[in-house]
Protein backbone atom coordinates (compact mmCIF):
# COMPACT_ATOMS: atom_id res chain seq x y z
CA UNK A 1 0.00 0.00 0.00
CA UNK A 2 2.78 2.39 0.92
CA UNK A 3 3.80 2.43 -2.77
CA UNK A 4 0.46 3.89 -3.80
CA UNK A 5 0.12 7.66 -3.98
CA UNK A 6 -2.92 9.22 -2.41
CA UNK A 7 -4.85 12.48 -2.60
CA UNK A 8 -7.15 13.39 0.22
CA UNK A 9 -10.16 15.46 -0.83
CA UNK A 10 -11.67 17.11 2.22
CA UNK A 11 -15.15 18.56 1.94
CA UNK A 12 -15.63 21.69 3.97
CA UNK A 13 -17.88 23.99 1.99
CA UNK A 14 -20.80 23.76 4.37
CA UNK A 15 -21.94 26.76 6.34
CA UNK A 16 -22.34 25.09 9.70
CA UNK A 17 -25.22 27.33 10.76
CA UNK A 18 -25.84 25.32 13.93
CA UNK A 19 -22.51 26.45 15.35
CA UNK A 20 -24.00 29.97 15.46
CA UNK A 21 -20.60 31.40 14.74
CA UNK A 22 -18.98 34.09 12.62
CA UNK A 23 -16.16 31.60 12.03
CA UNK A 24 -16.47 28.71 9.55
CA UNK A 25 -17.46 25.53 11.38
CA UNK A 26 -14.39 23.48 10.54
CA UNK A 27 -12.07 26.13 12.01
CA UNK A 28 -13.46 25.56 15.49
CA UNK A 29 -10.73 23.88 17.48
CA UNK A 30 -10.27 20.60 19.27
CA UNK A 31 -7.22 20.53 21.55
CA UNK A 32 -6.27 23.93 20.17
CA UNK A 33 -6.20 22.84 16.53
CA UNK A 34 -8.96 23.52 13.96
CA UNK A 35 -11.04 20.38 13.42
CA UNK A 36 -10.25 20.36 9.72
CA UNK A 37 -6.53 20.33 10.62
CA UNK A 38 -7.14 17.13 12.60
CA UNK A 39 -8.69 15.68 9.45
CA UNK A 40 -5.64 16.69 7.39
CA UNK A 41 -3.34 15.13 9.98
CA UNK A 42 -5.25 11.84 9.88
CA UNK A 43 -5.14 11.84 6.07
CA UNK A 44 -1.39 12.40 6.10
CA UNK A 45 -0.89 9.70 8.71
CA UNK A 46 -2.82 7.35 6.40
CA UNK A 47 -0.36 8.13 3.62
CA UNK A 48 -2.00 10.99 1.74
CA UNK A 49 0.67 12.94 -0.10
CA UNK A 50 -1.70 15.53 -1.53
CA UNK A 51 -4.52 17.42 0.16
CA UNK A 52 -7.35 19.19 -1.68
CA UNK A 53 -9.73 21.18 0.48
CA UNK A 54 -13.11 22.03 -0.92
CA UNK A 55 -14.25 25.28 0.64
CA UNK A 56 -17.17 27.62 0.14
CA UNK A 57 -18.50 29.45 3.12
CA UNK A 58 -15.89 31.86 4.54
CA UNK A 59 -13.41 31.04 1.77
CA UNK A 60 -10.96 33.83 2.59
CA UNK A 61 -10.79 32.97 6.25
CA UNK A 62 -10.42 29.31 5.36
CA UNK A 63 -7.54 29.95 2.96
CA UNK A 64 -5.72 31.98 5.58
CA UNK A 65 -6.14 29.28 8.19
CA UNK A 66 -5.17 26.45 5.82
CA UNK A 67 -1.98 28.35 4.97
CA UNK A 68 -0.98 27.88 8.62
CA UNK A 69 -1.83 24.24 9.32
CA UNK A 70 -1.44 22.74 5.84
CA UNK A 71 0.64 25.09 3.68
CA UNK A 72 0.93 22.51 0.91
CA UNK A 73 -2.80 21.87 0.64
CA UNK A 74 -4.66 23.18 -2.39
CA UNK A 75 -8.02 24.83 -1.89
CA UNK A 76 -10.94 24.65 -4.33
CA UNK A 77 -14.05 26.75 -4.06
CA UNK A 78 -17.41 25.09 -4.53
CA UNK A 79 -19.52 28.07 -5.55
CA UNK A 80 -22.90 26.41 -5.04
CA UNK A 81 -23.58 23.65 -2.56
CA UNK A 82 -25.20 21.06 -4.76
CA UNK A 83 -24.26 17.97 -2.77
CA UNK A 84 -21.26 15.90 -1.71
CA UNK A 85 -20.75 14.43 -5.20
CA UNK A 86 -20.70 17.90 -6.70
CA UNK A 87 -18.33 19.07 -3.95
CA UNK A 88 -15.74 16.38 -4.73
CA UNK A 89 -15.79 17.44 -8.39
CA UNK A 90 -14.76 20.96 -7.37
CA UNK A 91 -11.32 19.37 -6.89
CA UNK A 92 -11.37 17.85 -10.39
CA UNK A 93 -8.05 19.40 -11.30
CA UNK A 94 -6.29 17.77 -8.33
CA UNK A 95 -8.04 14.44 -8.82
CA UNK A 96 -6.86 14.25 -12.43
CA UNK A 97 -3.19 14.61 -11.46
CA UNK A 98 -2.52 10.89 -11.56
CA UNK A 99 -2.77 9.70 -7.97
CA UNK A 100 -3.52 6.05 -7.26
CA UNK A 101 -6.01 6.56 -4.43
CA UNK A 102 -8.49 9.29 -3.60
CA UNK A 103 -9.59 9.56 0.02
CA UNK A 104 -12.79 11.55 0.36
CA UNK A 105 -13.25 12.95 3.85
CA UNK A 106 -15.38 15.51 5.66
CA UNK A 107 -13.84 18.52 7.38
CA UNK A 108 -16.23 18.22 10.31
CA UNK A 109 -15.24 14.69 11.36
CA UNK A 110 -12.16 15.45 13.45
CA UNK A 111 -11.76 12.18 15.35
CA UNK A 112 -11.26 10.00 12.30
CA UNK A 113 -8.22 7.87 12.87
CA UNK A 114 -5.54 7.05 10.35
CA UNK A 115 -6.07 3.30 10.76
CA UNK A 116 -9.65 3.48 9.49
CA UNK A 117 -8.48 5.41 6.46
CA UNK A 118 -5.56 3.07 5.84
CA UNK A 119 -7.90 0.07 6.04
CA UNK A 120 -10.05 1.54 3.28
CA UNK A 121 -6.97 2.26 1.16
CA UNK A 122 -5.83 -1.31 1.71
CA UNK A 123 -9.05 -2.50 0.00
CA UNK A 124 -8.09 -0.46 -3.07
CA UNK A 125 -4.64 -2.05 -3.05
CA UNK A 126 -6.41 -5.42 -3.09
CA UNK A 127 -8.40 -4.44 -6.17
CA UNK A 128 -11.58 -2.71 -5.02
CA UNK A 129 -12.66 0.38 -6.95
CA UNK A 130 -14.43 1.93 -3.99
CA UNK A 131 -14.12 1.24 -0.24
CA UNK A 132 -16.64 3.01 1.95
CA UNK A 133 -16.00 3.53 5.66
CA UNK A 134 -19.02 2.38 7.63
CA UNK A 135 -19.89 2.55 11.32
CA UNK A 136 -22.67 1.54 13.67
CA UNK A 137 -24.10 4.59 15.46
CA UNK A 138 -26.35 4.11 18.52
CA UNK A 139 -29.17 5.48 16.36
CA UNK A 140 -28.86 5.28 12.58
CA UNK A 141 -31.42 8.03 11.93
CA UNK A 142 -30.12 10.65 9.54
CA UNK A 143 -27.29 8.57 8.13
CA UNK A 144 -27.01 6.88 4.78
CA UNK A 145 -27.52 3.08 5.15
CA UNK A 146 -25.00 0.62 3.72
CA UNK A 147 -26.72 -2.07 1.70
CA UNK A 148 -24.50 -5.12 1.39
CA UNK A 149 -24.79 -8.40 -0.45
CA UNK A 150 -22.35 -11.32 -0.28
CA UNK A 151 -19.60 -9.19 1.25
CA UNK A 152 -19.97 -6.47 -1.35
CA UNK A 153 -21.52 -3.06 -0.98
CA UNK A 154 -24.25 -2.59 -3.52
CA UNK A 155 -25.70 0.78 -2.52
CA UNK A 156 -25.78 3.59 0.02
CA UNK A 157 -29.28 4.83 0.58
CA UNK A 158 -29.80 8.24 2.17
CA UNK A 159 -32.31 8.23 5.03
CA UNK A 160 -34.81 10.27 3.04
CA UNK A 161 -34.70 7.80 0.16
CA UNK A 162 -34.86 4.64 2.30
CA UNK A 163 -37.70 2.12 2.36
CA UNK A 164 -39.01 1.09 5.81
CA UNK A 165 -37.00 -2.14 5.51
CA UNK A 166 -33.80 -0.26 4.65
CA UNK A 167 -34.26 2.12 7.57
CA UNK A 168 -33.77 -0.84 9.90
CA UNK A 169 -30.18 -1.31 8.77
CA UNK A 170 -27.75 -0.30 11.53
CA UNK A 171 -24.58 -0.22 9.41
CA UNK A 172 -24.22 3.38 8.22
CA UNK A 173 -22.09 5.53 5.99
CA UNK A 174 -19.53 7.44 8.03
CA UNK A 175 -19.17 9.72 5.04
CA UNK A 176 -15.60 8.87 4.14
CA UNK A 177 -14.46 6.60 1.34
CA UNK A 178 -11.46 5.58 -0.69
CA UNK A 179 -11.85 5.57 -4.46
CA UNK A 180 -9.40 4.28 -7.05
CA UNK A 181 -8.34 7.47 -8.81
CA UNK A 182 -8.44 5.93 -12.29
CA UNK A 183 -12.22 5.47 -11.88
CA UNK A 184 -13.04 8.48 -9.72
CA UNK A 185 -13.88 11.20 -12.24
CA UNK A 186 -15.77 8.86 -14.56
CA UNK A 187 -17.94 7.59 -11.70
CA UNK A 188 -18.52 11.07 -10.26
CA UNK A 189 -19.50 12.50 -13.64
CA UNK A 190 -22.24 9.89 -13.88
CA UNK A 191 -23.88 11.01 -10.60
CA UNK A 192 -27.28 12.66 -11.05
CA UNK A 193 -29.54 14.49 -8.63
CA UNK A 194 -32.83 12.63 -8.92
CA UNK A 195 -33.40 11.98 -5.22
CA UNK A 196 -35.40 13.29 -2.30
CA UNK A 197 -33.04 16.23 -1.70
CA UNK A 198 -32.29 17.02 -5.34
CA UNK A 199 -28.55 16.85 -4.55
CA UNK A 200 -25.63 15.21 -6.30
CA UNK A 201 -24.81 12.45 -3.85
CA UNK A 202 -21.24 11.18 -3.62
CA UNK A 203 -22.74 7.99 -2.30
CA UNK A 204 -24.33 7.20 -5.66
CA UNK A 205 -20.95 6.15 -7.04
CA UNK A 206 -21.41 2.88 -5.17
CA UNK A 207 -24.26 1.74 -7.39
CA UNK A 208 -22.67 3.26 -10.47
CA UNK A 209 -19.43 1.34 -9.89
CA UNK A 210 -21.41 -1.84 -9.21
CA UNK A 211 -23.27 -1.44 -12.49
CA UNK A 212 -19.90 -1.21 -14.26
CA UNK A 213 -18.94 -4.52 -12.69
CA UNK A 214 -16.35 -2.95 -10.36
CA UNK A 215 -15.73 -4.25 -6.85
CA UNK A 216 -17.15 -2.07 -4.03
CA UNK A 217 -16.70 -2.90 -0.35
CA UNK A 218 -17.35 -1.45 3.08
CA UNK A 219 -14.91 -1.30 6.01
CA UNK A 220 -15.90 -0.58 9.58
CA UNK A 221 -14.70 2.20 11.87
CA UNK A 222 -15.60 3.01 15.47
CA UNK A 223 -18.55 5.29 16.17
CA UNK A 224 -16.24 7.88 17.72
CA UNK A 225 -14.01 8.11 14.70
CA UNK A 226 -17.00 8.97 12.53
CA UNK A 227 -18.46 11.57 14.88
CA UNK A 228 -19.55 14.59 12.85
CA UNK A 229 -19.68 17.98 14.56
CA UNK A 230 -22.66 20.22 13.93
CA UNK A 231 -22.96 22.34 17.07
CA UNK A 232 -20.91 23.38 20.05
CA UNK A 233 -22.27 20.64 22.28
CA UNK A 234 -20.93 18.07 19.81
CA UNK A 235 -17.68 20.03 19.64
CA UNK A 236 -17.29 19.64 23.41
CA UNK A 237 -18.16 15.95 23.11
CA UNK A 238 -15.41 15.48 20.53
CA UNK A 239 -12.99 17.44 22.71
CA UNK A 240 -13.77 15.12 25.63
CA UNK A 241 -13.16 12.01 23.52
CA UNK A 242 -9.93 13.47 22.17
CA UNK A 243 -8.71 14.33 25.68
CA UNK A 244 -9.58 10.88 27.00
CA UNK A 245 -7.58 9.24 24.19
CA UNK A 246 -4.61 11.57 24.76
CA UNK A 247 -4.54 11.09 28.54
CA UNK A 248 -4.47 7.36 28.11
CA UNK A 249 -1.70 7.64 25.56
CA UNK A 250 0.32 9.84 27.97
CA UNK A 251 -0.11 7.40 30.85
CA UNK A 252 0.77 4.39 28.71
CA UNK A 253 3.90 6.19 27.56
CA UNK A 254 5.12 6.64 31.15
CA UNK A 255 3.60 9.88 32.42
CA UNK A 256 1.79 9.85 35.77
CA UNK A 257 -1.52 11.68 35.78
CA UNK A 258 -2.97 11.60 39.27
CA UNK A 259 -6.43 12.71 38.14
CA UNK A 260 -6.32 12.27 34.36
CA UNK A 261 -9.82 13.61 33.78
CA UNK A 262 -8.69 17.04 35.04
CA UNK A 263 -5.61 17.44 32.84
CA UNK A 264 -6.05 19.09 29.43
CA UNK A 265 -3.60 18.52 26.63
CA UNK A 266 -3.02 20.45 23.47
CA UNK A 267 -2.72 18.71 20.10
CA UNK A 268 1.07 19.08 20.24
CA UNK A 269 1.92 18.60 23.94
CA UNK A 270 5.06 16.51 24.47
CA UNK A 271 5.81 14.97 27.88
CA UNK A 272 8.68 12.69 28.85
CA UNK A 273 8.57 9.61 31.04
CA UNK A 274 8.37 9.79 34.80
CA UNK A 275 6.96 13.27 34.74
CA UNK A 276 4.16 13.64 37.26
CA UNK A 277 1.22 15.88 36.49
CA UNK A 278 -0.99 16.76 39.44
CA UNK A 279 -4.71 17.52 39.09
CA UNK A 280 -6.16 20.50 37.21
CA UNK A 281 -3.34 21.34 34.85
CA UNK A 282 -3.89 23.04 31.48
CA UNK A 283 -1.47 22.68 28.57
CA UNK A 284 -1.89 25.23 25.79
CA UNK A 285 -0.11 24.81 22.46
CA UNK A 286 3.65 24.42 22.14
CA UNK A 287 4.55 22.70 25.41
CA UNK A 288 7.52 20.34 25.62
CA UNK A 289 8.35 18.66 28.91
CA UNK A 290 11.30 16.33 29.40
CA UNK A 291 11.39 13.46 31.86
CA UNK A 292 11.18 13.51 35.62
CA UNK A 293 9.47 16.87 35.95
CA UNK A 294 6.77 17.65 38.49
CA UNK A 295 3.87 19.79 37.37
CA UNK A 296 1.92 20.68 40.48
CA UNK A 297 -1.80 21.32 40.62
CA UNK A 298 -3.54 24.26 38.93
CA UNK A 299 -0.72 25.25 36.62
CA UNK A 300 -1.44 26.89 33.26
CA UNK A 301 1.29 26.25 30.71
CA UNK A 302 1.65 27.24 27.07
CA UNK A 303 4.51 27.68 24.64
CA UNK A 304 6.95 26.53 27.31
CA UNK A 305 9.91 24.19 27.34
CA UNK A 306 10.53 22.37 30.60
CA UNK A 307 13.72 20.34 31.00
CA UNK A 308 14.31 17.26 33.15
CA UNK A 309 13.51 17.31 36.83
CA UNK A 310 12.01 20.78 36.90
CA UNK A 311 9.42 21.66 39.48
CA UNK A 312 6.49 23.81 38.41
CA UNK A 313 3.61 25.18 40.44
CA UNK A 314 1.22 24.79 42.12
CA UNK A 315 -0.58 27.72 40.49
CA UNK A 316 2.25 28.57 38.11
CA UNK A 317 1.66 30.29 34.81
CA UNK A 318 4.21 29.62 32.09
CA UNK A 319 3.64 31.68 28.97
CA UNK A 320 5.18 31.43 25.50
CA UNK A 321 8.96 31.49 25.51
CA UNK A 322 9.34 30.22 29.07
CA UNK A 323 12.40 27.99 28.92
CA UNK A 324 13.16 26.08 32.10
CA UNK A 325 16.48 24.27 32.16
CA UNK A 326 17.29 21.20 34.26
CA UNK A 327 16.08 21.29 37.84
CA UNK A 328 14.75 24.83 37.59
CA UNK A 329 11.93 25.67 39.95
CA UNK A 330 9.00 27.98 39.35
CA UNK A 331 6.68 27.99 42.31
CA UNK A 332 3.26 29.21 43.33
CA UNK A 333 1.71 32.32 41.79
CA UNK A 334 4.67 32.94 39.51
CA UNK A 335 4.37 34.01 35.89
CA UNK A 336 7.21 33.46 33.43
CA UNK A 337 7.16 34.79 29.87
CA UNK A 338 9.88 34.79 27.21
CA UNK A 339 12.53 34.00 29.77
CA UNK A 340 15.15 31.37 30.41
CA UNK A 341 15.40 29.98 33.89
CA UNK A 342 18.78 28.29 33.88
CA UNK A 343 19.83 25.14 35.65
CA UNK A 344 18.80 24.90 39.26
CA UNK A 345 17.55 28.50 39.46
CA UNK A 346 14.62 29.16 41.77
CA UNK A 347 11.69 31.48 41.21
CA UNK A 348 9.54 30.34 44.05
CA UNK A 349 6.81 32.75 45.05
CA UNK A 350 4.56 35.46 43.64
CA UNK A 351 6.92 36.68 40.95
CA UNK A 352 6.80 37.94 37.37
CA UNK A 353 9.77 37.16 35.16
CA UNK A 354 9.34 38.43 31.61
CA UNK A 355 11.91 39.03 28.85
CA UNK A 356 14.73 37.84 31.03
CA UNK A 357 17.44 35.34 31.79
CA UNK A 358 17.81 33.98 35.28
CA UNK A 359 21.28 32.47 35.56
CA UNK A 360 22.01 29.01 36.94
CA UNK A 361 21.37 28.58 40.66
CA UNK A 362 20.16 32.16 41.06
CA UNK A 363 17.47 32.74 43.68
CA UNK A 364 14.63 35.13 43.03
CA UNK A 365 12.87 36.27 46.21
CA UNK A 366 9.11 36.44 46.68
CA UNK A 367 7.31 39.27 44.95
CA UNK A 368 10.14 40.16 42.58
CA UNK A 369 9.02 41.78 39.33
CA UNK A 370 10.93 42.38 36.13
CA UNK A 371 9.54 45.71 34.92
CA UNK A 372 9.91 44.87 31.26
CA UNK A 373 7.47 47.27 29.63
CA UNK A 374 7.22 51.05 29.55
CA UNK A 375 3.90 51.12 27.76
CA UNK A 376 5.61 51.10 24.35
CA UNK A 377 8.52 48.68 24.23
CA UNK A 378 9.77 45.56 25.97
CA UNK A 379 13.21 45.47 27.61
CA UNK A 380 15.47 42.68 28.80
CA UNK A 381 16.63 41.81 32.31
CA UNK A 382 19.73 39.70 32.70
CA UNK A 383 20.34 38.04 36.04
CA UNK A 384 23.71 36.37 36.45
CA UNK A 385 24.58 32.94 37.74
CA UNK A 386 24.17 32.54 41.49
CA UNK A 387 22.64 35.99 41.97
CA UNK A 388 20.33 36.61 44.91
CA UNK A 389 17.41 38.96 44.44
CA UNK A 390 15.82 39.94 47.75
CA UNK A 391 12.05 39.78 48.12
CA UNK A 392 9.79 42.41 46.66
CA UNK A 393 12.35 43.94 44.33
CA UNK A 394 11.54 45.66 41.08
CA UNK A 395 14.10 45.20 38.34
CA UNK A 396 13.53 48.00 35.86
CA UNK A 397 14.69 46.80 32.47
CA UNK A 398 16.91 47.14 30.60
CA UNK A 399 19.10 46.15 33.49
CA UNK A 400 21.54 43.44 34.42
CA UNK A 401 22.68 41.87 37.64
CA UNK A 402 26.12 40.35 37.57
CA UNK A 403 27.16 36.87 38.62
CA UNK A 404 26.73 36.47 42.34
CA UNK A 405 25.12 39.92 42.61
CA UNK A 406 23.08 40.54 45.74
CA UNK A 407 19.98 42.73 45.74
CA UNK A 408 18.59 43.99 49.03
CA UNK A 409 14.93 43.24 49.40
CA UNK A 410 12.46 45.94 48.51
CA UNK A 411 14.86 47.47 46.01
CA UNK A 412 13.95 49.26 42.82
CA UNK A 413 16.93 48.49 40.61
CA UNK A 414 17.37 50.86 37.68
CA UNK A 415 21.12 50.58 37.15
CA UNK A 416 23.10 47.47 36.33
CA UNK A 417 24.83 45.74 39.22
CA UNK A 418 28.36 44.31 38.75
CA UNK A 419 29.40 40.76 39.68
CA UNK A 420 29.37 40.05 43.39
CA UNK A 421 28.16 43.57 44.29
CA UNK A 422 25.47 44.38 46.82
CA UNK A 423 22.83 46.86 45.66
CA UNK A 424 20.26 48.73 47.73
CA UNK A 425 17.61 50.61 45.85
CA UNK A 426 15.45 51.81 48.72
CA UNK A 427 15.40 54.44 51.44
CA UNK A 428 17.51 53.62 54.53
CA UNK A 429 15.55 52.63 57.60
CA UNK A 430 15.14 55.26 60.36
CA UNK A 431 14.31 54.15 63.95
CA UNK A 432 13.10 56.69 66.54
CA UNK A 433 13.02 55.37 70.15
CA UNK A 434 9.69 55.88 72.01
CA UNK A 435 8.01 57.48 68.98
CA UNK A 436 5.64 54.53 68.51
CA UNK A 437 4.16 54.88 71.98
CA UNK A 438 3.81 58.66 71.63
CA UNK A 439 1.93 58.27 68.34
CA UNK A 440 -0.43 55.70 69.82
CA UNK A 441 -1.35 58.01 72.71
CA UNK A 442 -1.93 60.96 70.38
CA UNK A 443 -4.21 58.94 68.08
CA UNK A 444 -6.18 57.45 70.98
CA UNK A 445 -6.97 60.84 72.55
CA UNK A 446 -7.96 62.33 69.17
CA UNK A 447 -10.39 59.44 68.63
CA UNK A 448 -11.87 59.85 72.12
CA UNK A 449 -12.39 63.59 71.56
CA UNK A 450 -14.19 62.89 68.31
CA UNK A 451 -16.47 60.34 69.94
CA UNK A 452 -17.34 62.74 72.75
CA UNK A 453 -18.16 65.56 70.30
CA UNK A 454 -20.46 63.24 68.36
CA UNK A 455 -22.34 62.25 71.53
CA UNK A 456 -23.08 65.91 72.59
C1 LIG B 1 -23.50 12.47 4.39
C2 LIG B 1 -23.69 11.19 3.57
C3 LIG B 1 -24.39 10.15 4.43
C4 LIG B 1 -23.59 9.86 5.67
C5 LIG B 1 -23.34 11.18 6.42
C6 LIG B 1 -22.38 10.94 7.55
C7 LIG B 1 -23.95 11.87 1.24
C8 LIG B 1 -24.90 12.09 0.14
N9 LIG B 1 -24.48 11.50 2.40
O10 LIG B 1 -24.79 12.98 4.66
O11 LIG B 1 -24.55 8.95 3.70
O12 LIG B 1 -24.24 8.95 6.50
O13 LIG B 1 -22.75 12.16 5.56
O14 LIG B 1 -22.25 12.08 8.32
O15 LIG B 1 -22.76 12.01 1.04
N16 LIG B 1 -20.51 19.39 1.66
C17 LIG B 1 -19.92 20.27 0.78
N18 LIG B 1 -20.63 20.66 -0.30
C19 LIG B 1 -21.89 20.23 -0.58
C20 LIG B 1 -22.48 19.33 0.35
C21 LIG B 1 -21.75 18.93 1.45
O22 LIG B 1 -18.78 20.69 0.97
O23 LIG B 1 -22.44 20.63 -1.60
C24 LIG B 1 -19.75 18.98 2.83
C25 LIG B 1 -20.34 19.50 4.14
O26 LIG B 1 -19.74 20.71 4.51
C27 LIG B 1 -20.02 18.40 5.11
C28 LIG B 1 -19.97 17.14 4.26
O29 LIG B 1 -19.81 17.58 2.94
O30 LIG B 1 -18.76 18.56 5.71
C31 LIG B 1 -21.21 16.28 4.42
O32 LIG B 1 -22.34 16.98 3.97
P33 LIG B 1 -23.74 16.86 4.68
O34 LIG B 1 -24.70 17.71 3.97
O35 LIG B 1 -23.56 17.08 6.13
O36 LIG B 1 -24.08 15.33 4.42
P37 LIG B 1 -25.10 14.43 5.22
O38 LIG B 1 -26.47 14.77 4.82
O39 LIG B 1 -24.77 14.46 6.66
CA1 LIG C 1 -23.59 15.83 8.12
pLDDT in tens, 285-315: 999 999 999 999 999 999 999 999 999 999 9
Q: What are phi and psi of 445, to 5 degrees?
A: -75, -35
**Is-catalytic flag, 349?**
yes
Ligand 1 atom showing the smallest separation from residue 142 Cα: 12
pLDDT over 70 at 277, yes or no:
yes
| Terminal-to-terminal C-alpha distance of the chain | 101
Ligand 1 atom showing the smallest separation from residue 87 Cα: 18
User: What's the mean per-residue pLDDT of the chain?
Assistant: 97
pLDDT over 60 at 1, yes or no:
no
pLDDT digit string (tens) for 158-211? 999 999 999 999 999 999 999 999 999 999 999 999 998 999 999 999 999 999
Ligand 1 within 6 A of 85 CB?
Answer: no
pLDDT digit string (tens) for 7-23? 999 999 988 999 999 99
Q: 344 and 359 in contact (C-beta within 8 Å)? A: no
Give 257's pLDDT tier (boundaries 50, 70, 90). Answer: very high
The total of other beta-carbon atoms located within 10 Å of residue 315's CB is 16
Q: Are strands 172-180 and 130-135 parallel, antiparallel or unpaired?
A: antiparallel
Alpha-carbon distance of 340 to 356, in angstroms, equals 7
The percent helix, strand, coil of the chain (3-state, each to 5) is 25, 30, 45
Alpha-carbon distance of 109 to 155, in angstroms, equals 22
Q: Which of 55, 62, 84 to mutate to test the pocket of ligand 1 (most atoms within 8 A of CB)?
A: 84
- Ligand closest to 227 (CA) is 1
* Residue 84 CA, ligand 1 centroid: distance in Å: 6
Q: 321 and 305 in contact (C-beta within 8 Å)? A: no
Q: What is the pLDDT of residue 2?
A: 61
Q: How far is CA 64 from CA 31, 73, 75, 86, 266, in A?
A: 20, 12, 11, 24, 21
Q: What is the pLDDT of residue 99?
A: 98
Q: Are strands 74-77 and 29-30 parallel, antiparallel or unpaired?
A: unpaired
pLDDT over 70 at 392, yes or no:
yes
Residue 155 makes CB contacts below 8 A (sequence gap 6+) with 147, 206, 207, 210
* Residue 227 CA, ligand 2 centroid: distance in Å: 10
pLDDT digit string (tens) for 58-113? 999 999 999 999 999 999 999 999 999 999 999 999 999 999 999 999 999 999 99
Alpha-carbon distance of 402 to 290, in angstroms, equals 29
Q: What phi-psi label fits residue 89: left (phi over 0), alpha (psi between -120 and 50 degrees) or beta?
A: alpha
Q: 202 and 174 in contact (C-beta within 8 Å)? A: no
Residues 212-222 have a mean pLDDT of: 97
* Residue 174 CA, ligand 2 centroid: distance in Å: 9
Q: What is the pLDDT of residue 15?
A: 84
Instruction: Return the percentage of the chain with pLDDT > 70, whole number.
Output: 100
Q: Which of 8, 9, 10, 14 to mutate to test the pocket of ligand 1 (most atoms within 8 A of CB)?
A: 14
From atom 32 of ligand 1, which residue's Cα is the shortest distance away? 84
Q: What is the pLDDT of residue 328?
A: 98
Q: 257 and 154 in contact (C-beta within 8 Å)? A: no
Strands (E), 294-349: 294-295, 300-301, 305-306, 311-312, 317-318, 322-324, 329-332, 335-341, 346-349
The pTM of this model reads 0.93
Q: 317 and 334 in contact (C-beta within 8 Å)? A: yes
Alpha-carbon distance of 257 to 273, in angstroms, equals 11
From 86, 152, 300, 349, the catalytic residue:
349
- Ligand closest to 16 (CA) is 1
Amino acid sequence: MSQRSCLSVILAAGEGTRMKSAMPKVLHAIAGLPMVAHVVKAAEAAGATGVALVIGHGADEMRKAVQKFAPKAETFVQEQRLGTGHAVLAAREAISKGYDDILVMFGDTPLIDAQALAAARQKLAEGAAVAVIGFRPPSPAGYGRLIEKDGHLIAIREEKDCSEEEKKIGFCNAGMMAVAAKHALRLLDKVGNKNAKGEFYLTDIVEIAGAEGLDVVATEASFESALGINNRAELAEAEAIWQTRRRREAMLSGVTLIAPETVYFSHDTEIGTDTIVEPNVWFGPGVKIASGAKIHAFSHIEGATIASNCDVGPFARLRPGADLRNKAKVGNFCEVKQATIEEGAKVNHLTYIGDARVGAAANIGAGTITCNYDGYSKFFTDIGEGAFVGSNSSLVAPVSIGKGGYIASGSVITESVPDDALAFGRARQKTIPGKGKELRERFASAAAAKKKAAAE
